[in-house]
Structure 1
Amino acid sequence: MDIQTYNPSEVTFPESVTKVLIVNNALPQPADVGYEYTLMGTKQDTCRALADSALFDACRSLGKSIVEADYFDDVLLYHYATRNDSIYYSDVKLLPEQIVSLCEETGTGAVISFDRLLFNMEKDVFAFPEGYLMGNIKVEIGGVVRCYLPGRSNPLATVFINDSIFWNESADNLSILKYVLPDANTALRTAGQYIGAKVYINFVPHWVNESRWYYNGMGSRWKEAAAYTSGQKWNYAVERWNSIYKNAKDWKGQAKSASNLALCYEMEGKLEVAQEWATKSYDLFKKNVGDDNSNTKLLKIYVGALQDRIRSDKKLNMQFGED
């Protein structure tokens, strides 16, 4: 079954920070840098790709994702240049006096800045003997995002970006392929939007999709308990799985029902209790079938996941100013 877990951000802001400013402190790479286009085995020497809009899209996408997380009171996007050099590949931090000026100008308490963002795009179009064309685009994204607070000489946090995005399409001819594959500028802009929407998790609490499972068994009691579990009626499911665990005639019934109890308690938010039951299940599997058994390995992962959730909850409480 699929579940969503709420996770803390990597960066913890002071409670006083209720508004943040997104800044583009990166310089766009030249149009003739970082783009290689191969057409039917021949590299094209006239290809160009503009990265200016991609940088802005990355900032806007980051700001939009942070807004949707509903953690800060307000998120602003700074529209003016912050650098006066021309070395596009350099990683340049914002100066402490710049941070103070930006925060005073915008009424924000922190700055999140793209200090470097570079793209490397490879496009390859080739023909198959069957008579159709294939087009591939790969955009590699590398950069640095930092978080700054006024009054600090060093950044609050630094996030290094290293990711990629792909396109793969086929068509009967080049004219049709141009419609289904993005052009160079659009590909860069999409890459910027992608990385902004992905890096946001470092700065705000966020939801993550995860998978869980529960064991089925023969007999009316197992089917009844499974029905309550699949219907997410956790209090009834706990009662049934507890009964099955206590009355199990072999270790395997105990191990499976203990794992199911761990799931039910996790869904009720009782993570410490869930960890205890998952550990019981893991110990039973390990004792009876060994470390290499798939169930033992699965329960070991689950115990670790619950331990991570317990630690995450403590960090979440701190980020939301709760005890």
Structure 2
Amino acid sequence: MKKIALFLLPGIMAFTGCAGTRNIHFNSQVPAMYNIPHHIRTLAIIDRSIPEDADANLLEGVLTGEGVSQDKLATQIVIDGLNQSLQNSSRYQVIRTTEKMKGSGAGSTFPEPLDWDTVAELCEKYEADALVSLETYDSDFIVTHGAKTGGEGGIRISAQGVATVNCGFRLYDYRNRDITDQYHFSHKEFWESGGSTITAAVATLLTKNDAIRKASFQAGIVYGERITPSWVRIHREYFKKSKRDPYLAEGARMMEANDWDRAIAALTTAVENGHFKTKGRAAHNLAVIYEILGNLEEAKKWATDAWGRYGIRKSRDYGYILTGRINEQRLLESQLRE
């Protein structure tokens, strides 16, 4: 079984908070939303979003004012995002090919699936177990007028830009001759700006092409996270100190220093010797530490003690979260199994 680890690198661990508590932030790996068969270890990415009717697509670009090559470039940026997302995981070997094929083009209607002789030819060419194919792509960018606000600087008008990218992917399983996944989705990105006039507000917005590119890249990441484990940012609340117990404060400081062994030692002393409320807060902090270290069962035990024995309300909900994370970790280990 592959060991699931957390990366605690400089810049990844951060702290925020308010009186009495602080938030600690760290990165953790979560399972893919969609299970892919274990025999699929090598993926080849292809672009099959070229419109079947190129002349009609050219006319649409002229009539709408869109650059003729805008979607062509944007599809490559979608694949950039997908490739980055897949490369960040140990689940697959990824081959980004230069294959470009005709499909249905814009809209949400998928083209007919690739025939299996073509799938076999491409998989053998790239020594891949499966093809990930971008089969539909479309984009749009609109600007909406926001509210007027007044202040010392006078009236300010806001504008919002919304970039929408629609993508359709298929994943072809070569060995089983099965379309393992077929998924169409929309991804939106929002930008806001302001100025003394609506013209000034719009002028400071991201340009249409830049907005489409950014949204396209994120859309590729969205699909990558559907089929491979990914990293997410997690934040947890912990207690900084107790008026009557120096060990809780010491443990919190050691958490901030990422000195987990000394933090555990100080907090364990607080649990053993502290006042009732201090015991509960120290138990909660120990739960947070063990989650960061990847020992979710131990984290759940301490969170249960913090709520069940000492009545720390934050620990009750935290215990539910940890139960969910334990189930996620089992799925993650299954997905990463060799």
The 2-side partners of 1:178 and 1:79 are apart by: 38
Shift in Å, 1:260 = 1.3
- What residue number does 2:224 align with? 200
Q: Which stretches in structure 1 are left out of the alignment for 5+ residues?
A: 35-44, 289-294
- What residue number does 2:14 align with? none
Query: Which amino acid in the other structure matches residue 330 of structure 2?
Result: K
1:266 matched to 2:282? The reply is no
Query: Which amino acid in the other structure matches residue 71 of structure 2?
Result: A
1:115 matched to 2:135? The reply is yes
More divergent stretch after superposition (14-23 vs 178-187): 178-187
Query: Which amino acid in the other structure matches residue 65 of structure 1?
Result: S
Please, what TM-score do these two structures have when normalized by structure 1?
A: 0.78
CA contact (8 A) 2:248 2:278 kept: no
- What residue number does 2:66 align with? 48
Q: Which has the higher strand share?
A: 2
- What residue number does 1:236 align with? 262
- What residue number does 1:37 align with? none
1:94 matched to 2:94? The reply is no
CA contact (8 A) 1:27 1:88 kept: no
More divergent stretch after superposition (121-130 vs 133-142): 121-130
Q: Alignment partner for residue 138 of structure 1, among 162, 166, 169?
A: 162
Shift in Å, 1:278 = 0.8
Query: Which amino acid in the other structure matches residue 282 of structure 2?
Result: S
Q: Which stretches in structure 2 are left out of the alignment for 5+ residues?
A: 1-23
Q: Alignment partner for residue 48 of structure 2, among 25, 43, 51?
A: 25
Shift in Å, 1:249 = 3.6
Query: Which amino acid in the other structure matches residue 309 of structure 1?
Result: R
Aligned positions, number: 302
The 2-side partners of 1:107 and 1:138 are apart by: 40
The 2-side partners of 1:207 and 1:307 are apart by: 19
* Cα distance per residue 1:8-59 (max 9 Å; x no partner): 223444444332112223356957879xxxxxxxxxx864354222222112
Shift in Å, 1:199 = 2.7
User: In structure 2, the residue corresponding to 1:191 is in which secondary structure?
Assistant: helix
The 2-side partners of 1:127 and 1:242 are apart by: 54
Shift in Å, 1:212 = 1.4
Shift in Å, 1:275 = 0.7
Shift in Å, 1:102 = 2.2
Please, what TM-score do these two structures have when normalized by structure 2?
A: 0.75
* Alignment of structure 1 residues 74-93 onto 2, 5 Å: 74-83=94-103, 85=104, 88-92=107-111
Percent identity of the aligned residues?
19
